[in-house]
Amino acid sequence: MSNDTTGTARPAAASGSFRIGGDLPVTRLGYGAMQLTGQGVWGEPRDRAEAVRVLRRAVELGVDFIDTADSYGPFVSEQIIREALHPYADGLVIATKGGFTRSGPGVWEPVGRPEYLRQQVELSLRHLGLERIDLYQLHRIDPQVPLADQLGALAELREAGKIRHIGLSEVTVAQIEEARTVTEIASVQNLYNLVERKSEDVLEYAEREGLAFIPWFPIATGELARPGGPLDAAAREHGATPAQLALAWLLRRSPAVLPIPGTSSVAHVEENIAAAGIELTDAEYEALTDAV
């Protein structure tokens, strides 16, 4: 079976690598830590011990890029990452985000005031047990605050050695270009998957400009996974699941793509990482690309 995880001790490596900001190498298939919290991305997970096992297993299987945010919990996800993985192995990159406040489950309010972002960076450093955050992403642009002020605060923290690279999330090409007039941008994280490609132009821009493109919610399959559909047929051909094929498609789509599938289950993290070893034929890739 082409999705077997036993052929190598670190199957994630089969996804290849990317240098964030030109100098920060990561294995392309990473792990998104939003699901390490309670319902509505709020509070403690149902099984904290399993959340710890998920993170440790992901790293065992070769994942060295973990994406989280201060708003996941809030702070619960960052704290579980520290519990599971600190002291961090050399080369393990923890990316986090700031710019959302939370007042309850499922509630997200953008706040980009410079003093708030400075506070959140300090809290993330403390919760993660880091002296510097390798990739800090503005979780959302706050429309009430000039973008230059939001990014200016992060640029100052980078100059102070507390951030290595700055990224953006849920932005347009025009917003990335505006941001790059303020400071260097290393990555962009937008909703993108096999069935949702509204950010195609952002992906193309990122690839052209050497930015990492981090698609969140990467394994949506929708109608393509219906019995007899193109994803179902290809999955059967590979002895794989539709979700694995959706990840394989993303990895094939562009060398700038860093998928971060998330899960709260060890079995699912093993399944997701096995997708790194699936190679789509040209015909399979084109059929899936054209199916939406």
Please confirm, yes or no, whether 72 is among the known catalytic residues. yes
User: What burial class does residue 260 get, using C-beta atoms within 10 Å of its C-beta: 0-12 exposed, 13-18 middle, 19+ buried?
Assistant: buried
Catalytic residue among 31, 72, 136, 205: 72
Beta strand pairing call for 109-110 and 100-101: antiparallel
Rounded distance, CA 200 to CA 197, Å? 5
Which one-letter amino acid corresponds to residue 78? E
E strands, the chain, in order = 17-20, 24-27, 31-32, 65-67, 93-98, 100-101, 109-110, 133-138, 163-169, 187-191, 212-216
Beta strand pairing call for 31-32 and 65-67: parallel
Indicate which residues carry an active-site annotation. Answer: 72
